[in-house]
Structure 1
Amino acid sequence: MTPEGISELISRVSLRDRAAFDALYASTSAKLFGVCLRVLGNRTEAEDALQDIYVKIWNKADRFAVAGTSPISWLVAVARNHCIDRLRARKGRTEDLDEASDIAEPSADPEQSAIATGEARRLGDCLDQLDAPRATAVRGAYLNGDSYELLAQRHKVPLNTMRTWLRRSLLKLKECLEG
């Protein structure tokens, strides 16, 4: 799903639209679960945190427009902050300040932002060179976290055909990005 689509879903969630909330969860839960798992390091705790995060998103969706950030950045910040709060709340465990230097600052500096913007533009240009259904499938699988099965159903092709589409598309993207 595109950032604009996710922004639209968050706006609808702020109006208490349950269908939009379900779509937002389906589109973003895999990415946010990965954030939770990375920060917490425990699958069970990450699953619990993910549920709490979506409750926060439901309750705070109206704050997204005020933030003025990209939708994924906002969602990741909500998830990351919640997980850090959970780490702080753990009883009987103290962290040494030296370990705090291992936690990276999530915001990029201006140089990193410029590089990321250029790379995103290059990737977008290469994706535009693919056939439209294949580009959509690649975006679904690798940017939105859609499963191969879901993509195969959406594009009305057999599962192995979808796997072939994605593999060949990734090879074409690699050629384009290296060329």
Structure 2
Amino acid sequence: MLSPKEYKASTDAELIQHYKVSGALDILGELYNRYMSLTYGVCLKYLKDREESRDAVMQIFEKLVNSLKEHDVAHFKSWLYVTARNHCLMQLRARKGKNFEEISPFLMEDSPAVHLEDEPDLEANLSQLEKCIGTLAAEQKQCVELFYLQQKCYKDIGDLTGYDANKVKSYIQNGKRNLKLCMEQHG
């Protein structure tokens, strides 16, 4: 087992080798400290949003826990750059598809009468969504409301609630899944 001083003196390749053998997360912590700024810069370049980029950095380093065990990484810095870029591109693709689905019905029809007909359905859906949010577990409800309604990032939610980033992410994902199930049951 290496000491923190030895971590700092080790090369990236040595740290990765030690991590593969020991699985010690503090080794990833050292790599995180070395390359957090680089990863954030890549994410900011592609995502063009500070909070989203911070969240992406956390997600990328969470993926490293498994990725470094599965891949033979010769040049960590280059590999991390490509990993971060690919992660951001996937987020942009997902966002592009989502935005298209949300906006495209309105591009098809611009008659005010068509939109007025849809209004009762929208009102009913919003009413049902409020009811479903009320059925969530307290932690899920709190995290979902902060994330989606107040547009807070994982870190801010963690600061406000005292939950760690993994708990926040889990509560949001589970809350989102439970909302979907509730809406499908009562929709």
- Pick 1 or 2: higher relative contact order, CA cutoff 8 A, min separation 6: 1
In the superposition, the TM-score normalised over structure 1's length comes to 0.46
The structure that is helix-richer by fraction is 2
